[in-house]
Chains A and B, each alone.
Chain A
Amino acid sequence: MKLTLKIWRQQGPHDNGRLVSYETDEVSPDMSFLEMLDGVNQRLILKGEEPVAFEHDCREGICGSCSLVINGVPHGPERGMAACQLYMRRFSAGDVITIEPWRARAFPIIKDLVVDRSALDRLMQAGGYISINTGGAVDGNVLLIGKEQAETAMDAASCIGCGACVAACKNASATLFVAAKVSHLGTLPQGKPERARRVAAMMEAMDREGFGACGNQYECEAVCPKRISTRFIAMLNREYLRAGFVASGSPAEPDSSQAGPD
């Protein structure tokens, strides 16, 4: 199958970058999208040109490192899948495919299609954790967690931190990512003691890192490889409002664990 690729090439963070066209005709429909790019790079190397830098690791949709905007959609045309799970059979001969990096002020481009997503790590450092003393593992069944709660937490916890939500958002907002973390931790008893502090700190960090605010457009949910629901954003907003009341009520460390927001 013969394809035209328009790939974003950028030498480094301070280069301006541009789309460069590549013709390729050695594409089999059974190739994955990343294998197709591997092939392009192989030929570039043989020609003595610089290969296209793109990020990948697991190539099975669990690590969240592949980060390509394909024809204007983060992770490409499939729903609920990462770019590494996309196969060339989804395209037809003669197609023009534009490949760009995640674009956000908070995700500076390192090279070509590779962006620096450490802003998401700093959001986690601001509050995406629980503080517990280490030691022997707690006995199973000491802490009983209802099935509903467990499933809600698991749904939120399936976020792989890829940042597609940011890439898809008109405002380059990381709200879905933060919502997933806040909902995941805030739903479980281990996460409840810090829930007021967590949500405030993570939202503050999100602004500090230069992400925009949520526009309630739900493009994030539509591209998320794990289909994280925007219902978690409503949950995040409730957590935030609740935290505001808690903080205004008591100067001491707030909160005891009680029923979840749902």
Chain B
Amino acid sequence: MRRSNQFQTSLSSKVAVALSGLGLAGFVSFHMLGNLQVFEGPAALNGYAAFLREMPIVLWSARLGLLTVAVAHIALGIRLALQNRRARPVAYAVREYRVASMASRTMALTGSLLLLFIVFHILHLTVGLGDPSVHDQLDERGHRDVYGKVIQAFHNPFYVALYCAGQLVLGMHLSHAVSGSLQTLGVEHAALIRLFRAAGPAVALFVVMGNLAIIFAVFLGLVRP
């Protein structure tokens, strides 16, 4: 047996998926916290966006790093999911699950939907496709008007519905993913097992609630242009 091949197992892929997934989970958490600045008004959010853009090297390294992590996560995740599917060629006629959550059974589906959502989200709010006029507007300080863009988007019930669906899918993926990664990385202790199993749903709830708060605050007119 060649030693170099010994660690090319599905478990190694799982560890990589878990590590990259936790990285992405960290990103979505901080992304949500950053977005909460909507509640501090246009100056705060646009200032924050401008602050990020003033450091192009940092911004682009972060984007590149994030992209690498995401590509690794998606590629290895899909490969694992396909491998796993091959492991049971004939399905059971009757199947009953005792403990597996809906979220845990739909990781590949929620992951794929999440990918679609992320692509749409970047095109919509980062690139500003479909609404280039808004994209180029500047606020009174000469910053790009991200705030105005967010307000405009979430006045539209169509975008509200789409983003809510995205949050639902994100919440489901995260709720299984974070607890699962802890187990995959061997982070486990008899006394803390409940805490670790609850970590996924807790992180999911945290991120989704934060994002939904923004969407609905705008939609219901609590945050105004």
Contact = CB atoms under 8 A, between A and B. Distances in A.
A201 B185 contact: no
A244 interface: yes
B133 interface: no
B16 to A, nearest CB: 12
Interface residues of A, number: 51
B84 A73 contact: no
A210 interface: yes
Interface stretch (B23-31, B92-100, B141-149): B92-100
Interface string B1-30: 101011111111111000000000000000
Given A222-B98, A231-B190, A106 B87 contact: yes
Given A216-B179, A218-B100, A231 B11 contact: no
A219 B8 CA distance: 26
A127 to B, nearest CB: 11
A238 B84 contact: no
B83 interface: yes
A243 B184 CA distance: 15
A212 B9 contact: no
A211 B13 CA distance: 15
B92 A103 contact: yes
B194 interface: no
A224 B10 CA distance: 23
Contact of A217 (B8, B95, B99, B185): B99
B88 A103 contact: yes
A240 B11 contact: yes
Contacts of B11: 203, 213-214, 237, 240
Contact of A212 (B12, B83, B186): B83
B128 interface: no
A241 B19 CA distance: 13
A86 interface: no
A contact face: mostly helix, strand, loop, or mixed: mixed
A259 B6 CA distance: 24
Contact of B94 (A100, A212, A215, A233): A100
A210 B85 CA distance: 11
A74 to B, nearest CB: 10
B105 A213 contact: no
Interface string B60-92: 000000000000000000001001111111111
Contacts of A217: 97, 99-101, 104-105
A98 interface: yes
A200 B180 CA distance: 21
A45 interface: no
Nearest to A104: B88
A234 B9 contact: no
Given A219-B97, A231-B188, A173 B87 contact: yes
Contact of A204 (B5, B85, B89, B179): B5
Interface of B: 1, 3, 5-15, 80, 83-101, 104-105, 107, 176, 179-180, 183-188, 190, 193
Given A19-B93, A217-B100, 6 more contacts: A6-B93, A105-B86, A213-B13, A219-B98, A234-B188, A237-B185
* Complex A-B, nearest 8 residue pairs according to Cβ-Cβ distance, in ascending order: A212-B87, A238-B186, A234-B188, A72-B96, A171-B84, A216-B180, A213-B10, A212-B84
